[in-house]
Amino acid sequence: MKVLILPSKEAAILRAADIVAAQVRARSDCTLGLATGGTMLPLYAELAKRHQAGEFSMTGVTSFNLDEYVGLAADHPGSYHRYMAEALFDLTDMPIMRAHLPRGDAIDPKAEAMDYEARIAKAGGIDLQLLGIGQNGHIGFNEPTSSLGSRTRIKTLTDSTLEANRRYFDTDEEVPKYAITMGIATILEARACLLLALGESKAEAAAAMIEGPVSAMCPASALQMHAQTTVILDEAAASRLKLTDYYHHVHPGGRESDYS
């Protein structure tokens, strides 16, 4: 796992944007795995800004989002479809026909989950998967105790996730209780992963992911099994790590090392 610790939130976002932009420039027909959540918003804003400045085009890109809430139609204000349109797709030349998310309002959500997995395979898999992390160590909506061999399926959200999502909905009742999410094995099949975690509230989960045992209790720890994973942290999210000196030594200021 490549652990890059940046001095500030802003620097961490710029570093993550550099990696995504480099991927799109290197292969204009690449397939990106996209994530949602508050952490991704400034990253998407930075990418949209760079696109508008002419740094890269997304016309050749295919994307697959990690997850969507069961029961929400694409035009629901709390849906990840809406989030992606507002945060990235509408601000770039991303072709909407190749921007995939699970359909939250599918009549048969289980069949939709299986079909989504098949669509990723048919597209040739994901080149770069973006990830955030939940305070309980979840990636996508793979909550603690999710099978490390799991595929795209329906997950029941934990109380802590419902609580974290409450701010996006008007009433408690509206907060979705289920999501269709890529599984952990689905995520691990991406050719490269890039996880961004910012702030003190993510420090414990980041430490468990990077330095804890590989365990379904911290689904993000499964990334220890992935040979091409980069984790970008700001100082606050890195504050509970034990080997901080080593990470700074290998990647001073979050830069590449001499051999990577």
Stretch that binds ligand GLP, among 37-45, 111-119, 148-156, 215-223 (CB under 6 A): 37-45
Report the nearest approach of ligand GLP to the CB of residue 141 (Å): 5
Residues annotated as part of the active site: 67, 136, 138, 143
- For every residue of 63-108, DSSP letters joined together read EEESEEETT--TTSTTSHHHHHHHHTGGGS---GGGEE---TT-SS
Q: Which of 39, 150, 221, 229 binds ligand GLP (CB under 6 A)?
A: 39
Q: How far apart are CA 61 and CA 44, in angstroms?
A: 15
Q: Which of 11, 19, 37, 106 binds ligand GLP (CB under 6 A)?
A: 37
Q: Which of 7, 38, 124, 149 binds ligand GLP (CB under 6 A)?
A: 38
116 is a contact residue toward ligand GLP (CB under 6 A): no
For 49, the enclosing helix (H) or strand (E) is helix 40-52
Q: How far apart are CA 260 and CA 250, in angstroms?
A: 10
Q: Which of 12, 66, 72, 94 binds ligand GLP (CB under 6 A)?
A: 66
How many beta carbons lie within 10 A of that of residue 164, not counting itself?
19
Helix (H, G, I), strand (E, B) or coil at 22: helix
36 is a contact residue toward ligand GLP (CB under 6 A): yes
Please, which residue, 15 or 56, has the CB nearer to ligand GLP?
15
134 is a contact residue toward ligand GLP (CB under 6 A): yes
> Sheet containing 67-69: which strands, arranged edge to edge?
67-69, 178-181, 153-156
Stretch that binds ligand GLP, among 1-9, 36-44, 113-121, 205-213 (CB under 6 A): 36-44
Quick one: which of 150, 17, 37 has its CA closest to 92?
A: 17
Which residues contact ligand GLP by CB under 6 A?
A: 35-39, 66-67, 132-134, 140-141, 161
